[in-house]
Structure 1
Amino acid sequence: MYPTRSNARKPKFRALSDVLEYGGSARKQEAADAALGGLMQHARTLQTLQDALARTLPPAMSQSCRVANLSGDTISVLCNHPSLGARLRQMGPSLINAWRLAGFACSALEVRIRPGLPADKEVIPFRRDPLSAGAAEALSALENEINDEGLKAALARLRQSANAD
């Protein structure tokens, strides 16, 4: 008879908050603190790697690249454009050397393309065109006609903002 798949051990994936809050492999407080401490240490490690990356790359490039992970001796870097990824791969030896000088034993660079990293997106400020004098008069007339106090207050604020611009 052949072994069934149900006998195979399947990994269970849980959110870290569930493990820390409800138990699981980290049932005791000391174990929970150790798990959280490990995550914090990994986050500090990634930040140190990011700082070394930013010092090595030109400023325009460093804004569009981010250290994603350190797994074994491989450092994963996300960038927002394929041409930037190609340039990062070319700079691989100098980046690995910079990370080694920062105290990390790494020997491989993995570059992944992820369009639209937050640093790449430009923040467009919201700008509302001012209301015309005719629209302000119509709002005032409507404000005088209605009985609902909440709606009256909202119309008054809208009319006042038209006068402020």
Structure 2
Amino acid sequence: MYNGPEHYLDKDAAAGRVMAHARLLLKLSRRFEAVAPAGLRHSAHVANYKLGIIIIHADNGAVAAKIRQLSQRLGNELSKGGVECSGIEVKVQPRQIPCQSTTSTQKPISGKAIGMLRSTTENLPEGPLRKALENLVKRAATTE
């Protein structure tokens, strides 16, 4: 009978401890989502649990400050879930958005705009601005 990968991980002592900790974090995460105010549920998450301290990562400083203000109440509520909570530690840790692009996309420039840029470039004295505009016009002309 196949019980999934957890069955094999639970048999090894070290892996079993990791699995138990993962289950505890999952339980704390669900409990946090249930007891945290609506505005904070999606802006913070349980990151770890060490020696009775629940570590929460907040997306920004404002969320972190609010969680710190509510830490006593949140700690009491999280303890009701069956986990000892002697304190909450909050860290600002913005989430990485995997689909967010860090490179810019090239936007097309209309023929009229290219013409205006060319005439502006021709009227500029030699220098870094003129060179930058010449490069822009050259790149824009090759993408049309």
**TM-score bracket for the superposition, by shorter chain length:** 0.5 to 0.7
Q: Which runs of 4+ in 1 moved over 6 A?
A: none
- The gaps in structure 1 that reach 5 residues or longer are 1-31, 125-165
Percentage of matched positions with identical amino acids: 30
CA RMSD of the aligned region, Å?
Answer: 2.5
- The gaps in structure 2 that reach 5 residues or longer are 1-10, 101-144
- Paired AA for residue 35 in structure 1: A
Which residue number corresponds to residue 37 of structure 1? 16
Give the Å deviation of 1:73. 1.2
Task: Rate the CA distance shift 1:47–1:108 in 2: closer, same or farther, 3 A.
Answer: same
TM-score of the aligned structures, taking structure 2 as reference length? 0.58
Tell me the alpha carbon deviations over residues 60-80 of structure 1, each in whole angstroms, 9 at most, x when there is no partner. 311111111111011100011
TM-score of the aligned structures, taking structure 1 as reference length? 0.51
Q: 2-side partners of 1:35 and 1:123: how far apart?
A: 35
- Paired AA for residue 65 in structure 2: A
Return the match for 1:56 from 15, 19, 35: 35
Q: 1-side partners of 2:98 and 2:41: how far apart?
A: 16
1:69 aligns with 2:42: no
1:82 aligns with 2:75: no
Q: 2-side partners of 1:89 and 1:122: how far apart?
A: 28
Residue aligned with 2:39, SS: helix
